[in-house]
Structure 1
Amino acid sequence: MTPLMIAVLALSMVGTAFLSGLFGMAGGLVLIGVLLALMPLPTAMVLHAITQIASNGWRAFLWRSHISWRPVAVYVSGCLLTLAVWSIARYVPDKPVALLLLGATPLMARLTPRNLKPNPDSLLQGLFYGSTCMGLMLMTGVSGPLMHVFFLGGKFDRRSVVATKAACQVASHFMKLIYFGGIISQAATLDVRLAVVGVAASVLGTTLARRLLEAMSDHQFRTWANRLITTVAGYYVLYGAWLLLLPRLQIR
């Protein structure tokens, strides 16, 4: 990696960590795209996992008094179930299918009847969302939009949403690191300089976002978070559909 490329990655990591620090999501979605464009998939997934563990871990520490630990424990249990199954199957879907799933799931969650709306305090829903989000994590590297829909469905304030999500993300990204760094591929190599830069940039971006999150109201947080989810989910649906149709258009 050249110094210029490391500098570009560092700026990208600061910016995406700031975005995640503000809304508890979206930064990882942007970062994984940048990493996949610059390096092989196993290496990209490993570096992404390390930066997201640092970003979410620091965010969870900053807002630790607002973490709701019961939903975290249930959610992580669901993640472990999926990791166990995928470690046996080692299924890797096509990129268009993964993108369509990533974009469609949060949109589908919004269309469910009111009495079935996501509830982070529900044991069954926590296991279901933990398992489903972990599946998305292993298919696409991220699961932020669907996870955010789940936690926005509760009665948490903005700090509790960000803090509890961050704690869940630390665990799920650690499982992704194990999956791509050991179970799926033993060939993932990572420049130590990149790992150090990634951790430092993630901590910096997360810290910079704290003051702005404090200044926002819960209404502003939910409004802009929902708009962000819709935008990101819509982009992935369109991008996945385009990749799915592209080979057929080229044949014609």
Structure 2
Amino acid sequence: MTSLMIAALGLLMVATAFLSGLFGMAGGLILIGVLLALMPLPTAMVLHAITQMASNGWRALLWRAHIRWRPVANYLVGCAVALALWSLTRYVPDKPMALLMLGATPFMARLLPANIKPDPDRLWQGTVYGTICMGLMLMTGVSGPLLDTFFLGGDFGRREKVATKAMCQLVSHFTKLIYFGGIIDQAASLDPVLAGVAIAASMLGTTLARRILEAMTDQQFMAWSNRLITTIACYYIAYGGWLMVRTPVLAAFDKGGLQ
């Protein structure tokens, strides 16, 4: 990868880490979509994992006083279950399917009945959520929108939600790194320079977001999160759908037109 491309990706990572520092997930949604467009899926997943581990790890450190550790431990059990199950098949999704699922993820979370409010302090609920979210993470690269619903019954303020979610995401992305970097048959490797840029950029973007998050109200936080994530999700559904139909459509035209 050229120096110019590494620099461009570094700037993108600063911007996406800034968004994630504010809203907890939007930046990661944007970044994985760009990486999937530029790289093979396993490589994109590994780079995204390193970037998001740095971003979420730094965010968790900055907000460490607000982390609630019991939900994190419960969620960790579910991640371990999901990794064990996926390791049996070593499945790797193709790009169109990953993008479609990526776009559908926020809407899947919103389809949950309003009366479902899981208790993140209960082990079995944390295990179920961790298993489902980790499976989604290995399919699409992200699980933030669904993970948000994990905190509905726990009386979390925006600081506690961002901090505890950051710790859960750190665990998830580390598990994703293990899977795509070491378990699957076509395990990916990564340029150490690019990895270093990703870590530094993620920490910088997260730090820049802290003051703005402090100034936001809970109402502003929710309103802007929903608008931004809905826009991004709709784009990925359209893009993934186009990639899925593009090959047969082009093949049909090559044969003289659609039949």
TM-score with structure 1 setting the length: 0.90
Question: How much does 1:193 deviate?
Answer: 1.1
Where in structure 2 are the equivalents of 1:70-81 lying within 5 Å? Answer: 70-81=70-81
Q: Using the alignment, how far apart are the partners of 2:109 and 2:47 within structure 1?
A: 30
Report percent identity of matched pairs: 72
Matched, 1:193 2:193: yes
Aligned residue for 1:240, secondary structure, equals helix
Q: Using the alignment, how far apart are the partners of 1:189 and 1:53 within structure 2?
A: 17
Question: How much does 1:152 deviate?
Answer: 5.2
Letter matched to residue 6 of structure 2: I
Moved more, 15-24 or 86-95: 86-95
Aligned residue for 2:115, secondary structure, equals helix
CA RMSD of the aligned region, Å? 2.1
Moved more, 49-58 or 152-161: 152-161
Q: Using the alignment, how far apart are the partners of 2:122 and 2:224 within structure 1?
A: 25
Question: How much does 1:118 deviate?
Answer: 4.8
Unmatched 5+ stretches in structure 2: 253-257
Aligned counterpart, 2:221: 221
Aligned residue for 1:34, secondary structure, equals helix
Q: 1:130 to 1:137 in 2, by over 3 A?
A: same
Letter matched to residue 60 of structure 1: A
TM-score with structure 2 setting the length: 0.88
Q: Residue 77 of structure 2 contacts residue 130 of structure 2 at CA under 8 Å; is this kept in 1?
A: yes
Moved more, 116-125 or 155-164: 116-125
Matched, 1:14 2:14: yes
Q: Using the alignment, how far apart are the partners of 2:113 and 2:175 within structure 1?
A: 32
Aligned counterpart, 1:41: 41
Q: Residue 145 of structure 1 contacts residue 233 of structure 1 at CA under 8 Å; is this kept in 2?
A: no
Q: Residue 42 of structure 1 contacts residue 185 of structure 1 at CA under 8 Å; is this kept in 2?
A: no
Moved more, 69-78 or 220-229: 220-229
Question: How much does 1:7 deviate?
Answer: 1.0
Q: Residue 46 of structure 1 contacts residue 180 of structure 1 at CA under 8 Å; is this kept in 2?
A: yes
The number of residues matched between the two structures is 252
Q: Using the alignment, how far apart are the partners of 2:108 and 2:101 within structure 1?
A: 10
- Can you list the C-alpha shifts for 1:37-93, whole angstroms capped at 9, x where unaligned? 333333222222111111100000000111111111111211111100001111223
Letter matched to residue 17 of structure 2: A
Aligned counterpart, 1:106: 106
Where in structure 2 are the equivalents of 1:58-73 lying within 5 Å? Answer: 58-73=58-73
Q: 1:38 to 1:107 in 2, by over 3 A?
A: closer
- Can you list the C-alpha shifts for 1:228-250, whole angstroms capped at 9, x where unaligned? 33223333333333333334544
- Can you list the C-alpha shifts for 1:145-190, whole angstroms capped at 9, x where unaligned? 2223433564211111111111011111111111111111465232
Q: 1:127 to 1:237 in 2, by over 3 A?
A: farther
Letter matched to residue 65 of structure 2: S
Aligned counterpart, 2:30: 30
Question: How much does 1:28 deviate?
Answer: 1.5
Aligned counterpart, 2:255: none
Where in structure 2 are the equivalents of 1:224-235 lying within 5 Å? Answer: 224-235=224-235
Q: 1:191 to 1:109 in 2, by over 3 A?
A: closer
- Can you list the C-alpha shifts for 1:75-132, whole angstroms capped at 9, x where unaligned? 1211111100001111223333333333334323323332224553454432222111
Aligned residue for 1:197, secondary structure, equals helix
Aligned counterpart, 2:53: 53
Q: 1:100 to 1:4 in 2, by over 3 A?
A: closer
Q: Residue 152 of structure 1 contacts residue 222 of structure 1 at CA under 8 Å; is this kept in 2?
A: no
Unmatched 5+ stretches in structure 1: none
Q: Residue 109 of structure 1 contacts residue 149 of structure 1 at CA under 8 Å; is this kept in 2?
A: yes
Q: 1:4 to 1:93 in 2, by over 3 A?
A: closer
Q: 1:99 to 1:41 in 2, by over 3 A?
A: closer
- Look at both structures and tell me which one has the larger radius of gyration over its CA atoms: 2
Q: 1:187 to 1:128 in 2, by over 3 A?
A: closer
